[in-house]
Structure 1
Amino acid sequence: MLSTVACRALAITFIGLALTNNVQGSNHPISNDIVCPTNSHVSFVHNSYTYNAPLHKFTDITGSFFNASWNPGVIVNSTTGTDNVPGATRSGSFAGYIFNETLTAIEKRSDALLSSYHGKGFTFILGPSYPALRVDGYSETLRFESICSGKATYIDFITYTCSDNQRLTYTAWSMAHTSALDGLAQTLGATILAGVCPEEAHCDKH
């Protein structure tokens, strides 16, 4: 049995190699960075989640740009183009506002699904205690990636928005992302993964 020090040293080495490989072999579709109009400011939101369920459990449901029914409250009313082909559009409603999004990139692999899309602006109210929020456009990438030897899934949203209230924009997007992913995980019976793969847990037990 490896000592705690040895286990940690191996873990640090592995993480360093993994990060290097990820940077060198990154297949991130596009840059999400956007240029905002006058009186609008860029907000950056990054939300990440890990769940005890294999990748296909999530991608079987989320793999269609035209089908967003997995996201509570999202209703797609119309589409143009071909599903999962860049240039396709979807329009609909969410929380009382109308959204219009264009798929800009998509990548499907056996170990990951990534999709990027741009959205047009809108104005909405998050709740009775919040002021109206004007969003002048946004760009988002959603990634599902297999981890823990296929036993779990890592998910993240990387979002850039142009808005008149950066703090409120961050709150609104984070709430929407967390609500959608937690709801989906609950539907699948997937529990939150605490950051250590089950087969690696023995490193801290002696």
Structure 2
Amino acid sequence: MFPTFTRSGLAIAFIGLTSANNVQGFNHPISNDIECAADSYVSFIHNSYTYNAPLHKFTDIAGSFFNVSWYGGTAVTSTTGTDNVPGATRSGPFVGTIFNETLTAFEKGSDVLLFSYHGKGFTFIPEPTYPALRWDGYSETLRFQSICSGKATHIDLITYTCSDNQPLTYTVWSTAHTSSFDGLAQTLGATILAGDCLCA
């Protein structure tokens, strides 16, 4: 799920979270409830990216909950349930431990793809130079949105975590997101969209 971290992310102040968010364009709430141990802290990471390629280019690769090889080279080795149906689970190796995630929401339309899932906690070492990092749980919502009359794609992620080290948690998730989505865009030959639709 995460590549080797070769660059530092920014450490920022964290803001408390609410228990549920409404995702624009959808009629149901996306639950981001996670249970934290007494000595861990709840926080969130928000990243967004916009690329000069149509939505289907991204969803052709990233449209399966059971296949996340594009997400930092992550291997899913075990699944239960039906792909893209809430309640399905996936697990696999991750930096000396195992990740376990459950799909909580899935929406697909002509102009959007959305996944939301919860992950169980674990402890790992992101890199030899970092201290051990404990996550007591996390949830993530990914939305791929068609923009610029179908010529470009906006990707929005919000990740909620319980951890014992908020700055390092932010660095790990933010670096993983940027590396994964920039890598996916590069595979597609997509460039970063500068903020208007003129080059799309």
Task: Provide the secondary structure at the position in 1 that maps to 2:79.
Answer: strand
Following TM superposition, by how much is the alpha carbon of 1:114 offset from its aligned partner in structure 2, in angstroms?
A: 0.5
Rounded to whole Å, the distance in 2 between the matches of 1:123 and 1:165 is: 11
Q: How does 1:1-206 map to 2 (within 5 A)?
A: 25-27=25-27, 29-198=29-198
Following TM superposition, by how much is the alpha carbon of 1:111 offset from its aligned partner in structure 2, in angstroms?
A: 0.4
Following TM superposition, by how much is the alpha carbon of 1:96 offset from its aligned partner in structure 2, in angstroms?
A: 3.3
Residue in structure 2 matched with residue 203 of structure 1 by the alignment: none
Q: Deviations over 1:131-151 (max 9, x none)?
A: 110000001001100011111
Question: 8 Å contact 1:107–1:114 — kept in the other structure?
Answer: yes
Task: Provide the secondary structure at the position in 2 that maps to 1:198.
Answer: coil
Question: 8 Å contact 2:52–2:193 — kept in the other structure?
Answer: yes
Distance 1:29 1:67, change over 3 A: farther
- List alignment gaps of at least 5 residues for structure 1: 1-21, 201-206
Following TM superposition, by how much is the alpha carbon of 1:126 offset from its aligned partner in structure 2, in angstroms?
A: 1.6
Q: CA RMSD in A?
A: 1.9
Q: What amino acid sits opposite 2:198 in the alignment?
A: P
Greater per-residue helix proportion: 1
TM-score, with length taken from structure 2: 0.84
Task: Provide the secondary structure at the position in 2 that maps to 1:180.
Answer: helix
User: Which structure has the larger Rg?
Assistant: 1
Rounded to whole Å, the distance in 2 between the matches of 1:96 and 1:27 is: 39
Q: Deviations over 1:68-126 (max 9, x none)?
A: 11123301001000111000000102333310000001000110000100000111112
- List alignment gaps of at least 5 residues for structure 2: 1-21
Rounded to whole Å, the distance in 1 between the matches of 2:151 and 2:43 is: 34
Residue in structure 1 matched with residue 7 of structure 2 by the alignment: none
Q: Deviations over 1:36-88 (max 9, x none)?
A: 12111012000100000000000011111011111233010010001110000
Distance 1:166 1:103, change over 3 A: same
